[in-house]
């Protein structure tokens, strides 16, 4: 797809409405591209866009665009369908997007002098629309900062107004892919935040950096006073697998994967959570109420069959009306790394002060540590930069994927790799394993059951 469309009157669009419109009105293309930038249009605004950006466009193009490619949403207020608008915006050059953003900021400022709802009608902060197609992550960060400032000031009136305005951005594909959905929930009061500290260590296991972080999450009520915290994981790209000089054949070749936003359990599923869900109506398989060897409400459930983990997800999904499932291997590793590229999200190694594993064995230059010989309560150690706990050690975590001996022809879109191989992939290592098995890229295959296996769940955010 080229982006020099402003100078090409014969460009072929994919959307049939655009194809038929420009076949009938080929001279309207330049104005049409600019008309896609505002979230909503008025005849006056479209005339102003024509005068300021494409004065050579025929004046009749204004009425043709509004009548044939838009639908009315209020008095002299029109909107394009999101799929038409998204396709058009992809063709505008970055410099043109910035110019349109500046124009809309000034236009809205002038309109507010006589219409206090102009920002709601036409879309506040038009720079986010521009950034969405240039640097969507920056737009998401600005929106997040705005929400956090409103929450900090406890300004409920402005937050409610902002949540309403933010809804108008819910159909901008780059923003959705960059993680807008959790922010919509946060602004509407459905979401919570928590603060935590991320630590980084050197090869000797010494903490060399401490960094404050904040994550957003929602709480799923499982009943009987038991809840499930689900953390928002932003979408993004990462290099999956081990680089040369690290890891085994099954972790190669290292390859880039694009992962859409999702929610992931803040902790490994606990025995208390397991018992509540095991008491729910059966979907396909029976569940033991207490399969774990090490007993404790806040300990991770272990000794779980892969089929049991799938049944657990099915029962939660049925009870809540939301889709819960096991993570794909790509989602799991992306979530574990949380933006890092080192063997562990903590850095070059781990210590028994940071995770629960067999610390009689070392990975780099760190000293030997404590081998606890049992599971520990979830959340006992520092989280990663996404706010996820126990991604290294404690219990193995089942993934949705069938086992493959390497990454040749593996999916690159974050989905599970299913081939009916008869064995399943597991991640993260356990209390029983030494450091090598606890790396971000480490993976292991089990025949649907392992004494040290647990899991955590994911949920894909719904499209608005």
pLDDT per position as a tens digit, 284-299: 999 999 999 999 999 9
Neighbouring-strand partners of residue 398? 426
- At residue 446, the pLDDT reads 78
% of the chain with per-residue pLDDT over 90: 61
Q: pLDDT at residue 9 above 60?
A: no
Q: What pLDDT, in 10s, does the model give residues 417-440?
A: 998 777 899 999 999 999 999 999
How many angstroms separate the Cα of 333 from the Cα of each of 84, 264, 269? 35, 12, 18
Q: What pLDDT, in 10s, does the model give residues 152-165?
A: 776 656 666 677 66
Burial 227-251 (b: 16+ CB within 10 A, else e): ebbbbbbbbbebebbbeeeebeebb
Q: What pLDDT, in 10s, does the model give residues 296-323?
A: 999 999 999 999 999 999 999 999 999 9
Q: pLDDT at residue 89 above 80?
A: yes
How many angstroms separate the Cα of 263 from the Cα of each of 219, 235, 259, 425, 428? 11, 10, 12, 20, 18
What number of other Cβ atoms are within 10 A of residue 154's Cβ?
7
Least confident of 87-101, 137-151, 244-258, 320-334: 137-151
Q: What pLDDT, in 10s, does the model give residues 170-215?
A: 667 777 777 787 777 777 667 788 999 999 999 999 999 999 999 9
Burial 204-217 (b: 16+ CB within 10 A, else e): ebeeeeeeeeebbb
Q: What pLDDT, in 10s, does the model give residues 27-76?
A: 999 999 999 888 778 899 899 999 999 999 999 999 999 999 998 877 78
- 133 closest CA partner among 102, 176, 104, 163: 176
- pLDDT category, 122, cuts 50, 70, 90? very low
- At residue 118, the pLDDT reads 44
Q: pLDDT at residue 134 above 70?
A: no
Tokens representing residue 111 in the block: 């309109």
- pLDDT category, 112, cuts 50, 70, 90? low
What number of other Cβ atoms are within 10 A of residue 342's Cβ?
15
Stronger pLDDT, 332 or 139, i.e. the higher one: 332
Q: What pLDDT, in 10s, does the model give residues 59-72?
A: 999 999 999 999 88
The answer to whether the bond into 253 is cis (omega within 30° of 0) is yes
CA-CA distance, 462 to 139, in Å (whole number)?
Answer: 20
- At residue 102, the pLDDT reads 81
When pLDDT is averaged across residues 246-263 and rounded to a whole number, the result is: 94
Looking up tokens 């935040």 gives 193
CA-CA distance, 306 to 448, in Å (whole number)?
Answer: 5
- At residue 450, the pLDDT reads 64
Q: What pLDDT, in 10s, does the model give residues 358-371?
A: 999 999 999 999 99
Tokens representing residue 167 in the block: 């809804």
CA-CA distance, 240 to 238, in Å (whole number)?
Answer: 6
When pLDDT is averaged across residues 103-120 and rounded to a whole number, the result is: 63
- pLDDT category, 126, cuts 50, 70, 90? low
- At residue 283, the pLDDT reads 97
Q: pLDDT at residue 331 above 80?
A: yes
Helix (H, G, I), strand (E, B) or coil at 264: strand
Mean pLDDT of the chain: 87
């Amino acid at each position: 797809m080229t982006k020099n469309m402003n100078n090409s009157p014969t460009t072929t669009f994919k959307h049939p409405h655009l194809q038929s419109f420009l076949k009938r009105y080929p001279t309207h293309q330049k104005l049409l591209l600019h008309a896609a930038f505002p979230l909503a249009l008025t005849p006056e605004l479209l005339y102003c866009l024509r005068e300021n950006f494409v004065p050579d466009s025929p004046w009749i193009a204004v009425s043709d665009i509004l009548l044939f490619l838009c639908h009315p949403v209020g008095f002299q207020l029109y909107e394009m369908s999101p799929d038409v608008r998204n396709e058009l915006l992809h063709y505008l050059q970055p410099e043109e997007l910035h110019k349109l953003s500046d124009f809309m900021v000034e236009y809205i400022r002038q309109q507010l002098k006589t219409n206090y709802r102009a920002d709601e009608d036409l879309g506040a902060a038009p720079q986010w629309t521009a950034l969405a197609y240039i640097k969507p992550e920056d737009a998401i960060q600005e929106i997040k900062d705005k929400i956090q400032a409103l929450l900090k000031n406890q300004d409920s009136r402005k937050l409610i107004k902002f949540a309403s305005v933010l809804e108008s951005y819910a159909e901008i594909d780059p923003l959705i892919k960059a993680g807008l959905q959790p922010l919509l929930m946060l602004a509407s009061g459905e979401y919570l935040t928590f603060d935590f500290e991320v630590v980084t260590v050197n090869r000797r296991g010494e903490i060399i950096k401490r960094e404050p972080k904040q994550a957003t999450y929602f709480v799923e009520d499982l009943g009987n006073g038991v809840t499930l915290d689900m953390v928002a994981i932003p979408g993004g790209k990462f290099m999956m697998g081990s680089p040369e000089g690290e890891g085994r054949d099954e972790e190669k070749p290292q390859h880039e994967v694009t992962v859409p936003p999702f929610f992931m359990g803040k902790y490994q599923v606990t025995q208390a959570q397991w018992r509540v869900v095991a008491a729910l109506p059966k979907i396909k398989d029976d569940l033991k109420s207490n399969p774990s060897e090490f007993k404790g409400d806040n300990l991770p459930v272990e000794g779980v069959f892969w089929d049991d983990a799938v049944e657990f997800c099915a029962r939660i999904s049925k009870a809540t009306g939301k889709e819960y499932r096991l993570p794909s291997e790509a989602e799991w590793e992306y979530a574990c790394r949380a933006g890092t590229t080192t063997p562990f999200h903590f850095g070059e190694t781990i210590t028994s002060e940071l995770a629960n594993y067999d610390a009689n064995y070392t990975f780099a230059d760190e000293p030997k540590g404590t081998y606890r010989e049992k599971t520990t309560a979830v959340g006992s150690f520092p989280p990663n930069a996404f706010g996820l706990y126990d991604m290294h050690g404690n219990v193995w975590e089942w993934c949705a994927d069938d086992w493959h001996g390497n990454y040749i022809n593996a999916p690159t879109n974050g989905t599970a790799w299913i081939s009916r191989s008869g064995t399943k992939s597991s991640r993260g290592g356990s209390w029983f394993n030494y450091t090598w098995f606890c790396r971000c890229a480490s993976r292991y295959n089990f025949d649907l059951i392992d004494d040290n296996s647990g899991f955590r769940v994911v949920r894909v955010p719904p499209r608005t």
